[in-house]
Chain A
């Protein structure tokens, strides 16, 4: 119960602070299992996308985040465990038999959606970096997942790399039309297509 209230308050606060206007372009909010993949420019990206989703869908969306950042300190730990129900990945201990993709597939089962940042680490914000292959392997193992491209505009100015205090500028979150991994589509082609889908949202 207290986690629900905390999550409602946090979502409201995040929306107010980021001044986010949310657009769904050729796309609709839906409770089906999805992978929201977005450009990554700030620590707050996951929170902002999560808060931009309608409440019912928000409860099903689990941001994939770095364990070292989100377990540092009691507040972050509480928020990641109880409020966003984040799926924490240990960046220092990635093993072959315990790959993050397997962990994600196990954790979401047939219920949850994921919020991922395929660039891996935060980019400077001007150009979207190359996508890592995790998104491809995720889709290969679960081809039924809908991949929704998400573009976050201006977030890098609100909280750039290495800064602690946010500046209250206005962001814009755009959700695009779903895409799927085609049968036999090469990895590089799929990742390129996915990255272009995010980039196109910027101009729309």
Chain B
């Protein structure tokens, strides 16, 4: 299943990433480059995270769907760990936390793995969300009850439920890509899924970078200074438009026509913006800059995947809508 299109996509990214790494390495070595060392360091940390994501996706390509789902499950688990560590809970929440980590999280990814959309789309927001407050109430500690329930629910929603929609892209019944007409349909569909996941992750990451780059323009109109002083209107608009253009040039790797690839990329960019702004607000409230500073040496996983978490369910549902419109998926109640 080593098809030319996917290989070009992967190699393109690896070459780009290699170049970026070389540039970052050179910048780090030179003290007098005239660029703010903080920016160089941010860039360096991001590149490391990209290599990691890239290896995750390469692993997915080599070992198939199950491996991808498991890898995303592990990322979720780690992100939830960071989220809950940072969020004050009380001893009464202990048992709830236990099953959230060891039952809720694995279950969500098992359901995604077996591709039961009608189950994985409701298990957390309906059943887990009813069980969490009920069990906290059972613990008999009413202090800040609603706040504690909400924190655990938010953690589970963002880190587990939302992120699970990324590997769920692999389970969509995509039409076989044009270049794989002579391959058997099942293989073609699975390759189409991998390409879609790859396209999605690439667009999220590129939109992060492009928004950051556009925000470096001299004219700065900060959107919400109290939450995140680095997010500007220039960054958001410039980043969204350039992500859309970039997505359009990669339409051949997606099931979409070129204009829709552009729209989808813009949607990813906007959702990603919402995600990282939300996480900034949580971090501000807790008085930390990065989830990574909380635990030195363990890198903030959550810092890297905030935009991915918000964009995944949105992109999934937009794609599902498209499949309904073109008649590949029948919408039935």
Contacts and interface: CB of A to CB of B under 8 A. Distances in A.
Contacts of B101: 167-168
B301 to A, nearest CB: 11
Interface residues of A, number: 17
B91 A172 contact: no
Given A161-B91, A163-B94, A170 B297 contact: no
A21 B85 contact: no
Interface string B36-67: 00000000000000000000000000000000
B296 A169 contact: no
A170 B94 contact: no
Interface of A: 19, 21, 23, 124, 154, 156-157, 160-161, 163, 165-170, 172
A192 to B, nearest CB: 28
Question: By DSSP majority rule, is chain A's interface helix, strand, loop, or mixed?
Answer: loop
B294 interface: yes
A21 B295 contact: yes
B6 to A, nearest CB: 34
A154 B294 CA distance: 11
Given A154-B85, A156-B91, 16 more contacts: A19-B85, A19-B295, A21-B296, A23-B296, A124-B91, A157-B89, A157-B94, A160-B94, A163-B91, A166-B98, A167-B94, A168-B77, A168-B81, A169-B85, A172-B294, A172-B295
Interface in B89-109: 89, 91, 94-95, 97-98, 101
Contacts, number: 43
Contacts of A172: 294-295
B81 A170 contact: yes
Nearest to B89: A157
Contacts of B91: 124, 156-157, 160-161, 163
A21 B291 CA distance: 13
B71 interface: no
Contacts of B298: 19, 21, 170
